[in-house]
Amino acid sequence: MLRNNVVTVDLGKIRQNYLLQKSLLPRKTEIMPVVKADAYGHGMVPVATALHSMGAKHFAVALAEEGVELREGGISGEILVLGPAMEEAAEECVRHDLTQTVFTPEMVEILEKEAEKQGRDALIHIKLDTGMSRLGFDAENENTVLMVEKLAQSGSLHITGIFTHFAVADEDTPVSRDFTRLQFERFMRVCNRLQADGVNVGLRHCCNSAGTLLHPAYHLDMCRLGLSQYGLDPDPCMKALLDVRPAMSLYTVVSMVKEIPAGATVSYGRQYTAPTPRRIATVAIGYADGYPRSLSNRAEMLLHGKRAPVIGRVCMDQLMLDVTDIPEARMGDIAVVAGSEGGESVTFDDMARWAGTINYEIICGISKRVPRVITE
């Protein structure tokens, strides 16, 4: 390897995951793959291209610049920008036919001015806040319906959808199910009122990956699939419900193997002391590559199909493994950071559990200096 570390992404598994989830949806329900944050670290343009070839007609990104990158990568169809549109972002959205999420009067004004300036429509989705308390017009505020009705009459804005975001769709408990139902009811009250008033709001969508699986009654016109598209589960309770396959693996290389005596300490802060003579391997991955420092003295990797614990603190560019029980370990060996080997596996879910976080954060945190190798 030219680089010490590498991520492999299997587009075949992403395609399989797409088809599996599509089979669970009503024929009328569209899928919007969420490819923001470089497709959760998997490579935005290759992933979108693969799914576009499978029939996906809608994509979601966080930033206008991500949408522009998709357009320049040859992706047609709707590209929904989930984040805010300031002046420069609005200019790019209108120019590249990106669909901008709208959730404040100020954004409406910015987009209207830009659309008039360029002499073309600005495409928008309306975002409703039904309980997430993050972004969106308040679904409980009577003025929200009036605002959307006013937008529908704009000569420069074209509404192509309306949506909300569930806060606890991934929690399969009675309290969380009740709250998700409340969010859906708030959303539908606004949609039904607008429909009764003759307003065409386009595609209605609520469900993320978890909502798609656990709340089939809320699928509506479209579902936004993010984490599950990449073969990971939003919550462990869903593993038995959907057999998606992880598309990403992460590897590093052994740069040195040495023996240390009992009592020797390892890495910064001397947080590991060898209880007996140990054999340790230094591997060339660290927190600058996106391997969390919180995995110090907690995680494991695979070497020759055997589990090797991380010992001592994770450094910026490297860390140490205890390979005392892996006598065949040598400089230049490939270590599996996340993936399978010899019947053993270390998953991104494992890493998240050890780090006290969620699998989303682990995969999105793998840095750009780790090259992605895309396979079909």
One of 36, 127, 230, 291 is an active-site residue; which one? 36
Residue-wise pLDDT tens digits, 275-326? 999 999 999 999 999 999 999 999 999 999 999 999 999 999 999 999 999 9
pLDDT tens sequence across 66-75? 999 999 999 9
- Provide the whole-model pTM: 0.95
CB 337 within 8 A of CB 252: yes
Backbone Cα Rg of the chain: 24
Selected catalytic residue, list 57, 258, 268, 368? 268
Q: Is 268 a catalytic residue?
A: yes
- Active site includes 28? no
248-375: CATH, from 2.40.37.10, 2.60.40.10, 2.40.50.100, 1.10.10.10:
2.40.37.10
The tokens describing 334, both together, are 């490939």
Residues 330-372 pLDDT 10s: 999 999 999 999 999 999 999 999 999 999 999 999 999 999 9
DSSP characters over 286-349: -GGGT--GGGTTT-EEEETTEEEEEES---SS-EEEE-TT-TT--TTPEEEEEEEETTEEE-HH
Q: What is the distance, to the nearest Å, from the Cα of residue 81 to the centroid of all Cα atoms in its chain?
A: 14
Q: What is the spatial distance between Cα 16 and Cα 87, in angstroms, rounded to a whole number?
A: 39
pLDDT at 2: 52
Choose the CATH number for 11-232 among 3.30.70.580, 3.30.70.1710, 2.40.128.20, 3.20.20.10: 3.20.20.10
Average pLDDT, the chain: 96
Domain boundaries, the chain: 11-232, 248-375
